Each structure stands twice: as C-alpha cells, then as structure tokens.
Amino acid sequence: MKNLVVLTGAGISAESGIKTFREMGGLWEEYDVMEVASPHAWENNQELVMRFYNERRKKLLEASPNEGHIGLVELEKYFNVHIVTQNVDDLHERAGSKNILHLHGELKKSRSTIDPNLIYEISGWELKTGDKCEKGSQLRPHIVWFGEAVPAIAEAADICEKADIFVVVGTSLNVYPAAGLIDYAPNGIPVFLIDPNDVGTKNTEITFIKEKAGTGVQKLIGFLKEKSGSND
Ligand code: APR
C-alpha cells in the first residue's frame, strides 16, 4: 500500500466545536499567546496557564470527532496512513486512526517539571497546583509551548520523506517547524490542501480543495478512489 501522510491543524477539529487559533474569534484573539503558552507564562502566572488548559480540556471532553477525522480513518482501507498533527486534542485517536504523531503535545496528559520522561494521563478536566509527579515536582500541561523545542519533529520529517501522497488539512502553516514539513515531501508526489480559506504556501503543485474538513476529506477520498479505479 502507498504511504499517505496527513499534516493536520486546528481546522480539522473546528467542526467538532474546538476553536482555531488565528481566525477571527480564534483563541489568539482572546488570549495573548505569550501569557498562556510559553515558559515565561508558566514562570509568571502558573494559575492562569493551568486555567487556560483546564478550560480547553473541559471543552475537549464535550467534543466528538467529526466527518473530517472519520474520513481519514476510512482512507486506511486504501493507504498506509500516517497522521502528523499539530493538534493537542485526541479526536484523531477517538475517530480510530492508527498512526498519529503529536507535534505539539497532548491536552489530556501532564508532564513532570523536573523529568520530561514522566508523562501521565490526566483523569477528568483539571490539572491543579499541587499535583505532583512521582519525584515530587509540580506537573505541567504536556504541551509544546512557544519558544520550546519540538521533540517529535525529526520523526515527523522521516514520515514525510516517505510519503507517496501528502495531504494538509486545516492549518494556516504559520508555525514552524511544523509548517516546514511540507518541504520534506518528495518532489513530484501529489499534494492536496483542504481548507475553506486561502493558505499561503510556496508549493505551486498543490491541489487545493477549498472546503471545510468534513466535506473536503470526502472529496479527497472520491478523488483518490477515482484515480486508483477502486469501486468500493
Ligand atoms: N475545516 C478545515 N479547515 C478549517 C476549518 C474547517 N472547518 N475552519 C477553519 N479552518 C482553517 C483556517 O482557514 C486556517 O487556515 O484552519 C486553519 C487554522 O489555522 P490556525 O488557527 O493558525 O491553526 P494551526 O495552523 O493548527 O496552528 C498551528 O499554532 O498556536 C499554535 O500550537 C498551536 O498547533 C497550533 C499552531
């Protein structure tokens, strides 16, 4: 089976009721990113950072995967699908996708502040001051903040280099190094971009499916099936 690599961003979860970041009404209009999602913020106002992620976790627990996430699972019938996501939600997992790499961490997990290898599931929505790892240090959200390294980027680049088909869904491609992953796709392979809005990219070979994720992924499936001559 061919390798189909999908880079997803906040837009794929928009139809599940999760806010994106940079659109009108997006999270970064409501909050100053450096005050809630940076090491400086954690040093400065731990309570605010904790509250910001607790609220988002609460919303995530009420959300369900949408047609976009579910369509990507359907593609596993025809392709070896690898999802590389910038999202910290678990909607790809809950939809049933098998191979998921989280670039920016996971909202439902916490991590030790003295040993980054100690990672825990958060039960329920709340992480609190005083919640500690087994070595006795405060737990923080398991999120890659602005100004921090992206530990999964090398593995993501390896996955992208092996793509036979590359798909981008619901990301403004503003945040690096994630946005640069598209450049690891081998030259000449089909590249699709699903987004209801224009997205700036240097790649001129892209097939742009100007749709929301739900309908866009269905169109992609139709297009790929047609090309492969499949009748299912
Ligand atoms: N379906 C598909 N795409 C959509 C939909 C939808 N229903 N609604 C909006 N979009 C698109 C927007 O047009 C935009 O291009 O999703 C994109 C969202 O872009 P951003 O808000 O910038 O989100 P993302 O690219 O995932 O952000 C990257 O920035 O702050 C961070 O760490 C955070 O992982 C995040 C990173």
Same domain, 90 and 184: yes
Q: Are residues 97 and 48 in the same domain?
A: no
Shared domain for 71 and 169, answered yes or no, is yes
Q: Tell me how far CA of residue 100 lies from CA of 18, 29, 87, 134, in angstroms.
A: 19, 29, 11, 27
User: Which domain CATH number covers 100?
Assistant: 3.40.50.1220
Q: What is the mean pLDDT of the chain?
A: 95
Burial (CB count within 10 angstroms: exposed 0-12, middle 13-18, buried 19+), residue 225: middle
Dihedral sign computed on CA atoms, order 163, 168, 173, 178: negative
Q: Say if residue 78 is in the same domain as residue 193.
A: yes
Q: Which of 21, 34, 67 to mutate to test the pocket of ligand 1 (most atoms within 8 A of CB)?
A: 21
Q: Ligand 1: which atom is nearest the Cα of residue 20?
A: 21
Looking at the fold, whether 42 and 155 belong to one and the same domain comes out as no
Instruction: Report the CATH number at residue 113.
Output: 3.30.1600.10
- Global pTM value: 0.96
Clarify whether residues 195 and 221 are in a common domain: yes
pLDDT at 163: 98
Ligand 1 centroid vs 33 CA: distance in angstroms? 15
Q: 70 and 160: one domain?
A: yes
Q: Is residue 92 predicted with pLDDT exceeding 60?
A: yes
Distance (Å) from CA 87 to ligand 1 centroid: 9
Domain boundary among 119, 143, 167: 143
Number of structural domains (the chain) is 2
Q: Domain end: 143, 164, 195, which one?
A: 143
Which residue's alpha carbon is at the smallest distance from atom 28 of ligand 1?
A: 175
Verify whether ligand 1 is closer than 6 Å to residue 197 (CB atom).
Answer: yes
The answer on 219 and 163 residing in a single domain is: yes
In this structure, the answer to whether residues 2 and 100 fall within a common structural domain is: yes
Instruction: Establish whether residue 168 lines the binding site of ligand 1, counting it when its CB lies within 6 angstroms of any ligand atom.
Output: no
pLDDT at 232 over 90: no
- Of 67-71, 94-98, 154-158, 205-209, the range with the lowest mean pLDDT is 205-209
Residues 202 and 232 in one domain: yes
Per-residue pLDDT band at 166 (split at 50, 70, 90)? very high
Cα(116)–Cα(230) distance, rounded to whole angstroms?
Answer: 46
CB 181 within 8 A of CB 206: no
Domain edge (last residue) among 128, 143, 158: 143
114 and 167 belong to one structural domain: no
pLDDT digits (tens, 9 = 90+) for 2-58: 999 999 999 999 999 999 999 888 998 888 999 999 999 999 999 999 999 999 999
The residue segments making up the domain with residue 130 are 19-62+108-143
* Domain identity same for 122 and 232: no
- With 70 as the cut, is the pLDDT of residue 120 above it? yes
pLDDT at position 231 over 60: no
